[in-house]
Structure 1
Amino acid sequence: MQHSQRFLDLVDASRQVIQETNVAQVEQWQAQGDAFVLIDNREESEWAKGHIPGAVYMGRGILERDIEHRYPDLDQKIVVYCGGGYRSALSVENLQKMGYRNVWSMDGGIRGWQQANLPLSES
């Protein structure tokens, strides 16, 4: 998908103030049994086609509304991913504004996960 320049500028601004990780690091955290919440931030139709094992669904449209009810601990380690790492960067910036201190955007998103030939789960 060709993203507009204004959208890319917005994402770049978010990336200046958030923590990012990558597919390899998330896979390693999972393999080590690290305690963290993995949130799939895509549209529900994208989630239904496949998602990273162990992920929970909280789409971009509801994440900020519902996060505190499900994960009230502001120090909980949370990794958010989307298709390529753009929407998750925007979401993580909002979570930081809400007071979450240990939130990460997974650069590369599910496309990066698939390119690394890592497994997917289906609903």
Structure 2
Amino acid sequence: MAKNHSQRFLDIVDDAKSRVLECTIQDVKIRKEEGEEFLLIDVRESHEFSTGRIPGAKHISKGIIERDVEQLIPDASTLLILYCGGGFRSALAADNLQKMGYTQVISMDGGYSGWKAAGYEIESGS
């Protein structure tokens, strides 16, 4: 289901991506397989998260991440990998977390849809 994003939205995503480190879904899969320590954060909306997610992901939706992140993840040097549906909202959230002082934030390009399309394991909703 392709999204028809507005040009203004794409412009702010491109702006955020100019400051954010990105990785691929394959990078995340390898990091997980190698046992690398990081927090995988799903920034999609609650209804999206409840239908399925990448195993081990924690949910902090983009709408509240700036408000709640310091209480949930007080160590600003924690390695965080954020994902959304395709990689746009996670880039916006990653940009804001960096502005808040988080020093190791990565946005996963391709998001949940790319992970699922690659045939990687997913957790079903509850």
Residues 1:90 and 2:80 aligned together: no
Report the aligned-residue RMSD: 0.6
Residues 1:29 and 2:7 aligned together: no
Report the TM-score, using the length of structure 1 for normalisation.
0.98
The 2-side partners of 1:61 and 1:14 are apart by 16
The 2-side partners of 1:72 and 1:56 are apart by 15
Q: Counterpart of 2:53 in 1: which secondary structure?
A: coil
Residues 1:61 and 2:63 aligned together: yes
**Identity over the aligned pairs, expressed in percent?**
47
Structure 1 stretches lacking a partner, 5+ long:
none
Counterpart position of 1:14: 16
TM-superposed deviation, 1:115: 1.2
Counterpart position of 2:117: 115
Q: Counterpart of 2:123 in 1: which secondary structure?
A: coil
- Dislocated runs of 4+, deviation >6 Å: none
The 2-side partners of 1:36 and 1:47 are apart by 19
TM-superposed deviation, 1:25: 0.2
Report the TM-score, using the length of structure 2 for normalisation.
0.96
* Match among 94, 98, 101 for residue 99 of structure 1: 101
